[in-house]
Amino acid sequence: MLAAHPRPGITRDNAFFWEGLRLGELRIQRCKACRQLRHPPGPMCPGCHATDWDFVRSRGRGTIHSFVVAEHPQVPPFEYPNVIVLVELGEGTRLVSRLAGSDPESVAIGQPVAVEFETVDDDLSLHLFRRLEA
């Protein structure tokens, strides 16, 4: 039996992000006052403290800013070794994700990646990244 996938904590401030994933969009929150992009989503702009925001759709391309190869403890339903990446998107924000289809030995900082989407069930889709040919 497959273990249930852990559920993200969905709030008023990040619902747009998870909704975007279900639609195959990677969304980035944007301050309506100063236009600064930010991630993870929050109620207030760290730059100008405005609370009005909307979002933009990321092009879904970036580079590996940092990564870690998780081997223990092995928590279902994830596959191991599980390569966790901190991706710096072309838009400038960073997000933590999972690297698909990779030989962990060959992962390196600076490699270009592109987003993909994985449907877990009717209510949950996740983002993951895959390396592009350099």
- Of the ranges 40-48, 66-74, 100-108, 126-134, which one interacts with Zn ion (CB under 5 A)? 40-48
H helices of the chain, in order, are: 15-22
d(CA 16, CA 56): 11
Residue 99 near residue 107, CB atoms below 8 Å: yes
Q: Which is closer to Zn ion, CB of 36 or CB of 82?
A: 36
The sheet carrying 53-57 orders its strands as: 37-38, 27-31, 53-57
Q: Which is closer to Zn ion, CB of 53 or CB of 67?
A: 53
Q: Is 31 a residue that touches Zn ion (CB under 5 A)?
A: yes
Q: Is 50 a residue that touches Zn ion (CB under 5 A)?
A: yes
Which positions touch Zn ion (CB under 5 A)? 31, 33-34, 36, 45, 47-48, 50
